[in-house]
Copies of this chain bind each other. A is one copy, B any other.
Amino acid sequence: MMEMKTQRKGGDGRKRIKIEKIKDKSRLQVTFSKRRKGLFKKATELSVLTGAQVALIAFSPAGKPYVCGNPDLLLDRFVNGEASDIHQKDDDPEQRRYMEVEKELEAEKKRGILLESLINYDLGGGNDKSWLDTYVDGLSLDELKQMKSDMEQLQKCVAQRSQDLKMTGNTASSSSSSSYEDKSLALMKLPAGNDDIVDDDYLNEEMVNELVFDFDSQEYDFGTTTSTDQEITADMFSDDYY
């Protein structure tokens, strides 16, 4: 026996695979594990390298959720915002803190309304579509699908939230959000009538990039204080497998 070439030791090495749903249950599991690990590592590296905040959740095909990053930290940043801490109440900071929160709430509501409006903003260019719709008309079918699904869910949340706000006026118990379980949505398919893809490949001048909207000129009390650019550390993620 002179040659055993085809295999020195381990396997044959990596093979190229198509990016499509793996049907083999076994391989699926393996792939998920390996890739999830790699993904998390990348997320961590990005965070450490650039100091960016990253939050990532992946549900295994079995339904088990894996979280990377530190979601709680993000939330924490809001709760502890700029000012005092909740447990810190000595002479009369109670009232004070309350006022502050009320104030912030007000600001946040404004911001929310603004953003909401922005999304449903009507370009008014003759057609009665919102700019969003107009934009969508220029997308490819795939882009459309992808976007539509995500949009609908988001819109729903917003709508729901708005409803709550209007109803209770101001005394909402947020976390007990209602029951729009329409998660599955129409996500996968668009209304048949939306298939006409307008391929307007209008190339524009780059000067557009310099056009800046200066809303700041107007003095509105919008905005929040939450600019505590929190640093994310490697420890926040699992990096023991490097």
Contacts and interface: CB of A to CB of B under 8 A. Distances in A.
Contacts of A57: 53-56, 73-74, 77
Given A79-B83, A115-B115, A202-B138, A40 B214 contact: yes
Contact of A56 (B54, B180, B227): B54
Contacts of A12: none
Given A53-B199, A87-B87, A166-B106, A72 B183 contact: yes
Interface in A151-168: 151-159, 161-162, 165-166, 168
Contacts of A100: 171-173
A212 B148 CA distance: 9
Contacts of A111: 108, 112, 157-158, 161, 183-184
Given A105-B170, A121-B154, A208-B139, A84 B175 contact: yes
A155 B189 CA distance: 22
B124 A150 contact: yes
A208 B137 CA distance: 7
A242 B112 contact: no
Contacts of A196: 227
A213 B235 contact: no
A22 B48 CA distance: 8
A108 B36 CA distance: 29
Interface string A76-94: 1111011110110000001
Contacts of A75: 78, 81, 83, 106, 157, 200
